[in-house]
């Protein structure tokens, strides 16, 4: 597991879409990143078909200053998605956590292993099938980490998602 790697997410996104046909509706989907988006959707955006899904995963963080690492079962990734005119767009934002040792106000972004990335994307695709294509949602995927892991108690003061009020919310 390394630090935050957008290309890792892009590769797995493409594999699940094109090798495993997770969204087999003939639309072309792509994944983008936006490091400032929130879970707020305006009326205008809603009219244009945007939906939001927040996922809580197990990730590892590393301080960019002192290099300290720590695991967290509350590494939050936020997805916005919509399909329009044969094109599907997913915009993703990972949320960071600050280093307890440095307390420098900087948020470090999480790294994830392959299993966590796959789990997050499969859960997202389940939401997309339900909300964009009217399919029943499958019960076998939950919006939290695929593995139950023990980590130290969550420190809300150091969590960017907590600060914005969206840490590990169950989705709407």
> Where do the domains of the chain lie?
6-164
**Residue 172 clears pLDDT 50, i.e. is over it:** no
Mean pLDDT across the chain, nearest whole number?
89
Measured at the CA of 112, the angle between CA 111 and CA 115, to 5 degrees, comes to 170
More confident residue, 152 or 53: 53
At residue 99, the pLDDT reads 95
Task: Copy the structure tokens of residue 95.
Answer: 């949320």
Whole-angstrom distance, CA of residue 59 vs CA of residue 81: 22
**Quick one: which H or E segment has residue 76?**
strand 69-84
Over residues 84-140, the pLDDT tens digits come to: 999 999 999 999 999 999 988 899 999 999 999 999 999 999 999 999 999 987 665
Over residues 10-32, the pLDDT tens digits come to: 999 999 998 899 998 999 999 99
CB 112 within 8 A of CB 61: no
Q: Which residues contact 150 (CB under 8 A, 6 or more apart)?
A: 73
Give the pTM: 0.89
Q: Which residues of 112-150 are buried (b: 16+ CB within 10 A; e: fewer)?
A: bbeebbbbbbbbbbbbbbebbeeeeeeeeeebbbbeeee
């Amino acid at each position: 597991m390394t630090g935050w790697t957008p290309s890792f997410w892009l590769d797995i996104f493409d594999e699940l879409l094109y090798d495993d046909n997770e969204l087999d509706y003939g639309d072309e989907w792509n994944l983008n990143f936006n490091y400032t988006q929130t879970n707020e959707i305006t009326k205008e955006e809603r009219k244009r078909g945007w939906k939001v899904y927040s996922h809580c995963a197990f990730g590892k963080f590393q301080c960019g200053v002192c290099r300290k690492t720590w695991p967290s079962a509350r590494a939050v990734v936020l997805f916005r998605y919509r399909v329009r005119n044969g094109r599907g767009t997913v915009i993703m934002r990972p949320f960071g956590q600050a280093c307890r040792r440095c307390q420098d106000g900087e948020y470090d972004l999480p790294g994830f292993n392959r299993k966590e990335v796959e789990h997050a994307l499969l859960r997202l695709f389940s939401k997309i099938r339900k909300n964009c294509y009217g399919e029943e949602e499958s019960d076998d995927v939950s919006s939290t980490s695929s593995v139950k892991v023990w980590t130290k108690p969550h420190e809300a003061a150091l969590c960017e998602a907590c600060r914005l009020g969206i840490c590990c919310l169950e989705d709407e």
